[in-house]
Amino acid sequence: MDFKEYMAGALTKPMEGDTVEYYKIKGRVSGNVLTNAQQNIPAGGYNYEADITKFWEEFQRLKKECDYKLSFNTLMMRVLAEGLKVAPRLNAHMDYRPLSSSGRLIIKKHIDIAMPVLLESGETFPIKVRHVEEMDLKELQAEIDRMLETLKTTDVDRVLFDVILQRIIGFICKGKLRQTAAQIYTGYCGKFKVAKLSGLFEHADRDPSKSLQMYELNEGSVCLTNLGTLSKGLSGNITYAPILYPQVFIMALCSLQDKDYVFRNEKGEVDIGTKKILPINIMFDHRIGGFADVVPFLKKLDEIFANPEVIREW
């Protein structure tokens, strides 16, 4: 090993023949959020295997009867909102000051759900559906369809630039001057720079029918991610999903699975059958007070899955 190879290994530099991909603006935004999550959120987790046999059957019936195209992902977004109504401390942002060990939990008035979607490029990208608690299923599906359609004609990099600008202003207000200076410098200079974008505040003039707005792409009050849409047919459960800072809660859905069980039926008799199991991973910021805040949420989901007729009232 010569000195050049030795230093490349020590400094994580590419060797001859390696392929190098630099972060684009999407990577910079998501990388910042996820790094903040790892550094700042002491997370707890719970793997919840939900028996949604009755719930799935009711969803299939409702999907055939309704006059719009209802997706399972939309239905689960509403399930999440119903759970948060009885566990409002999960629908919050954490503002913690490690230097003084002080902080505050900002419980949000509205349920704004950030949801990653799969782009035509193969990348995943989060959109934010606002005020989910105020919409019925038809309105919620229409809003999601509108956002997905508008996303096709959105200059995502330009809108994300506004998101970054908002975060930099937040860093400045919190006194994080070194981080601010570093982000600005690497954004505009050197090998890590991203394309310069002019007209930083043009978002006010964008046509909402052709472009998503900044407030539809920044952090929501909570996150729902459906990993099952990317891994259909795979067994198992996700064991960890990073909470998007400054949120305190995330719910991750895995692939729906058919599992054979020995169980007691409604008559109390031992029976054998196949059940629809939806593995759900939930992660929560332990600083909100512990698992006691999660229990009402889980009990509400159990109630919905056991009595799925309630979805017809949504």
Closest CA to 252 of 128, 87, 113, 69: 113
Q: How far apart are CA 239 and CA 251, in angstroms?
A: 11
Closest CA to 94 of 84, 110, 105: 105
- Give the model's pLDDT for residue 240: 80
- Give the model's pLDDT for residue 65: 92
Measure Cα distances from 256 to 73, 226, 228, 233 in Å: 12, 11, 7, 8
The per-residue pLDDT for range 35-59, each reduced to its tens digit, is 666 666 777 888 899 999 999 999 9
The strand pairing partners of 105, in sequence order, are: 94
CATH 1.10.260.40 fits 42-153+215-313, yes or no: no
- Are the beta carbons of 158 and 196 closer than 8 angstroms? no
Dihedrals phi, psi of 215, to nearest 5 degrees: -70, -10
- Give the model's pLDDT for residue 153: 77
- Count of CA atoms in the C-beta half-sphere (13 A) of 112: 18
- Give the model's pLDDT for residue 259: 78
Cα angle 142, 145, 146; round to 5: 85
- Are the beta carbons of 90 and 296 closer than 8 angstroms? no
Sign, CA dihedral 155-156-157-163, equals positive
Q: Would strands 124-129 and 222-226 be described as parallel, antiparallel, or unpaired? A: unpaired
Dihedrals phi, psi of 77, to nearest 5 degrees: -65, -40
Q: Could you tell me if residue 305 is left (phi over 0), alpha (psi between -120 and 50 degrees) or otherwise beta?
A: alpha
pTM check: above 0.85 = no
- Give the model's pLDDT for residue 135: 94
- Give the model's pLDDT for residue 21: 65
| Boundaries of every domain in the chain | 42-153+215-313
Q: Mean pLDDT for each consecutive 10-residue tract of the chain (314 residues)?
A: 59 64 63 65 85 94 92 94 95 81 84 83 78 95 89 73 68 68 64 55 56 71 80 69 86 86 73 85 86 93 95 92
- Give the model's pLDDT for residue 204: 47
